[in-house]
Amino acid sequence: MFNNAPVVAVMSQINIQQNHKTLITVSVSDPDGDTIRCRWANSSNGVDECGSICPPGSLPVNTAIYSNCTVEIIGASAASGYAIALMICYILIKQNQIIIFVFTYLGRRFH
For residue 16, the SS3 value is coil
Give pLDDT, residue 21. Answer: 93
For 15-35, what is the mean pLDDT?
Answer: 89
**Domain range annotation of the chain:** 7-110
Give pLDDT, residue 95. Answer: 52
Q: Is the pLDDT assigned to residue 104 strictly greater than 70?
A: no
The pLDDT confidence band at residue 65, using thresholds 50, 70 and 90, is very high
For residue 22, the SS3 value is strand
Q: Is the pLDDT assigned to residue 110 strictly greater than 60?
A: no
